[in-house]
Homo-oligomer: A and B are copies of this chain.
Amino acid sequence: MGRKIFSACNACQNLNRLSKTFEDKKFHLKNLIQDKDRLENFSLKLEGFFYDFSKQRVDDTLLNELFDLARETRAKESFSKMVSGKIVNVTENRAALHTAARDFTHDSIVLDDLDVISEIKRVNKQIDSFSKKVHDNDLKGSTGKSFTDAVVIGIGGSYLGCEFVYTALKHSIDPVINLHFLPNVDIDNFGQVIKGIDPETCLWIVISKSYTTTETMANLNQALLFLKNNHLDPLNHLVTITAKDSPGDDSSNSGLGAFHLFDFIGGRYSVTSAVGGLPLSLAFGFDVFTRFLKGCHDMDLHALNAPEEKNIPLTAALISIWNSNFLHYPAQAIIPYCSALSKLAPHVQQLYMESLGKGVTSDGKMTDHQTGVIVFGEPGTNAQHSFFQFAHQGSPFPIEFVGVVKPVYNKDQAKLEGVYNHQELWANMIAQAQALAIGKDDDNKAKYFTGNRPSSTLLINELTPESMGLLLAFYEAKTIYEGFILGVNPFDQFGVELGKVLASDIRDQIRKKNDDETTDFNSLDPATKFYLDTLFKGSL
């Protein structure tokens, strides 16, 4: 028997029915959390990782239905297929093997005559060797100076995950090479980046699987012009991370080296490939990158092997589906009580929204259910002074708090009224989840809080490479499980194509005008004509 369509599942019918009962007062969170065993029964643990869903709007009956839904849709079977290299990206007829990029268990995974594991080992060995040479000053810029900085040219999945990990780890580990990110085709992104570097000591890392991504190629051209104007040899200041045999893999383009990407790892799942591997190894050393991979692998093994009821990413996926499809929350916030995790939400925003923002099921039918929600977030306590007014008294949305048990900073610390800053941070994190859940009655309606607003809390021990791996792989597995259960393909992104096609038409018009300034835009629709006229005129 194949997997069932989401909305046809028995569990879905039951969940629909249960969602009505959850409107009853006895299911208000302030009542649910009275149970002394609530935390014990509604939390899961893995070495170095804790997931508390005791303040989600669930009870035992409901959870059982959710796990039934996972079984009916054969979620774990799909995940297992994915890990073993089966075609799970059905619309593009590809495997999805990001887990192989940190697989320390298998000696070989064969895909179309290619041994994926040995290919990944080959690239990682190359990363190890290259980053050591840079750190040991065996590889230098064209004027003989050591590299101090690297600019990552890449957009979307080619930088968001790497930026998240880099931003987090540089709190605890001083980078050998400072990373800068140049995703945007905006020339002012370029202008700002070059203010922060010395061209003689800067390496440019160009990331594009096809080596045709418009933004990345445009920024590469700009970088090449910049190097030339600074009388530097581009080939001594550039590496590429790209598919085998792409234009970037050609020795005339690849500079100090080309590091291969593979079809079986999609952009938003590529942090543990060379996309993250090379920049992070340059910044912190290949050993740190390896520790990060081990953290990912631990979570992968858990996601693959733990039974439904003990499986953290699967449980998180089910709760997310409960919140979106049955309680009808349109969004979810991720609030790390940790400044270093400021780029976690932007990374997960891409990972999750690009994976699940779909209108079609894996078998090509228009969906009749919600397929993911809006994800956004800022660090707490900052967010408390920003949009938490809305979270407490506006339209409700579930929140995922992320806490780090131990801070990095360990020098002299001041107390305010007997409490250290890190303790104050935690007092707030705990209190916010409480306040959202229990609410507060007040005759003055301006001071009345409905409560019954769901949240989860994730904890990690410290800002280590391993714990960043756990976090990254948790969100990957959660997203994928959600896709499998909802019956949508979490690995394709056809929704980005139409904009590209239309941009190409407009680009043709611009090019014509650049080539011949007498060209006008009169044949275009009035809006496009107005925008292009304004652009060429240079003012409103």
Contacts and interface: CB of A to CB of B under 8 A. Distances in A.
A192 B447 contact: no
Contacts of A225: 412-414
Contact of A330 (B45, B395, B408, B534): B395
A419 to B, nearest CB: 5
A465 to B, nearest CB: 16
A425 B185 contact: yes
A69 interface: no
A540 B444 contact: no
Interface in A17-45: 33, 36-40, 45
Contact of A395 (B370, B387, B411): B370
A339 B407 contact: no
Interface stretch (A128-136, A246-254, A309-317, A377-385): A377-385
A154 to B, nearest CB: 9
**Copies of the protein in its oligomer:** 2
A77 B366 CA distance: 48
Contacts of A426: 506, 510, 531-532, 535
7 contacts: A52-B527, A171-B188, A186-B381, A218-B416, A418-B510, A418-B511, A428-B499
Nearest to A443: B364
A432 B502 CA distance: 8
Interface stretch (A107-115, A255-263, A288-296, A346-354): A346-354
Contacts of A407: 186-188, 191
Nearest to A417: B511
A499 to B, nearest CB: 4
Nearest to A223: B414
Interface residues of A, number: 162
A307 interface: no
A414 B224 contact: yes
A423 interface: yes
Interface in A484-513: 489, 492-500, 502-503, 505-507, 510-511
Nearest to A512: B418
A538 interface: yes
A306 interface: no
A190 interface: yes
Nearest to A190: B409
Given A40-B526, A339-B192, A449-B495, A427 B382 contact: no
